[in-house]
Amino acid sequence: MARNDTLEMGELTDTAYYILLSLVEAKHGYLIMQTIEEMTDQRFSIGPASMYTTIKKLLASELIKLFEDHDPKRKTYIATEKGIDLLKKEVNRRREMVIHAEAVFNRKGEQL
């Protein structure tokens, strides 16, 4: 968000999270969009505009890189080690967000 570059801060927005997660295994742009839709049962979808702007930023931050493949028509990307590390950190951050909510509701005797 504003006055703060989330990637430089070591944070992933939901969009960046799903793109990076898709790129644990090499994929080209269009396949990333499909993968995310399939993975989330259409609950989360990213259009080309969001995807390509995010890919640019992920490349610039070296969280993903171009993957060598011989197809000149499609650009294929893959997460870097730095990218995987950040992704795992961000999985954990979301886990903690769930735990924080569970703690609040448990204290009230409510379940989630």
Q: Are 21 and 14 in contact (CB under 8 A)?
A: no
Q: Enumerate binding residues for its own copies (CB under 8 A).
A: 14, 17-18, 21, 24-25, 39-40, 43, 87-88, 91-98, 100-105, 108, 112
Residue 111: left if φ>0, alpha if ψ -120 to 50, beta else—which one? Answer: beta
Instruction: Give, as ranges, the residues between 41 and 80 that touch DNA (CB under 7 A).
Output: 46-50, 52-54, 56-57, 73-76
Report the nearest approach of DNA to the CB of residue 99 (Å).
20
The reply on whether position 85 binds DNA by CB under 7 A is no
Dump strand ranges (E) for the chain: 27-28, 64-66, 76-79
Could you say which of 29, 35, 37, 67 contacts DNA (CB under 7 A)?
29
Q: Residue 68 forms beta bridges with which residues? A: none
Phi, psi of 20 (to 5 degrees): -65, -40
| Residue 98 C-alpha from the chain's centroid | 18
73 contacts which partner out of its own copies, DNA, none, CB within 5 to 8 A by kind? Answer: DNA
User: Where on the chain is the footprint of DNA (CB under 7 A)?
Assistant: 1-7, 13-16, 28-31, 34, 46-50, 52-54, 56-57, 73-76
